[in-house]
Amino acid sequence: MKGIRIGLVGMAAIAALLFGGAILGGTVFAQDGDTVGVSDGSAETGESGDVTIEATDISEPGLGAWTLDIHYDTSVITATDCTAEQGGVCNPNFADGVARITGATAGGLEGDSTLGTFEFECGDDAGTSDLDIQVSTFADATLGDPTDIDVTVVDGTFTCSEEEVVTAVPAAGTGFSADGTSYGWLVALLAVIGTVGLAVGALRNRAR
Q: What is the pLDDT of residue 12?
A: 34
For 5-41, write each residue's pLDDT tens digit. Answer: 334 333 333 333 233 343 344 444 444 589 999 999 9
* pLDDT in the model for residue 22: 39
d(CA 55, CA 35): 6
Mean pLDDT, the chain, integer: 78
Burial class (CB in 10 A: 0-12, 13-18, 19+), 44: middle
pLDDT per position as a tens digit, 135-156: 999 999 999 899 999 999 999 9
State phi, psi for 125 to the nearest 5 degrees: -115, 150
124, 45 Cβ separation under 8 angstroms: yes
Query: What is the average pLDDT across 171-190?
Result: 50
pLDDT of residue 207: 52
| pLDDT of 55 | 98
Per-residue 3-state assignment (H helix, E strand, C coil) for the chain = CHHHHHHHHHHHHHHHHHHCEEEECCEEEECCCCEEEECCEEEECCCEEEEEEEEEEEEEEEEEEEEEEEECCCCCEEEEEEEECCCCEEEEEEECCEEEEEEEEEEEEEEEEEEEEEEEEECCCCEEEEEEEEEEEEEECCCCCCCECCCEEECEEEEEECCCCCCCCCCCCCCECCCCCECHHHHHHHHHHHHHHHHHHHHHHHHC
* pLDDT for residue 1 is more than 50: no
Domain at 18-161, CATH class: mainly beta
User: What confidence tens digit (pLDDT) does each residue in 76-109 have?
Assistant: 999 999 999 999 999 999 999 999 999 999 999 9
pTM of the full structure: 0.67
pLDDT at 186: 47
- Which pLDDT tens digit goes with each residue over 60-84? 999 999 999 999 999 999 999 999 9
pLDDT value at residue 21: 40
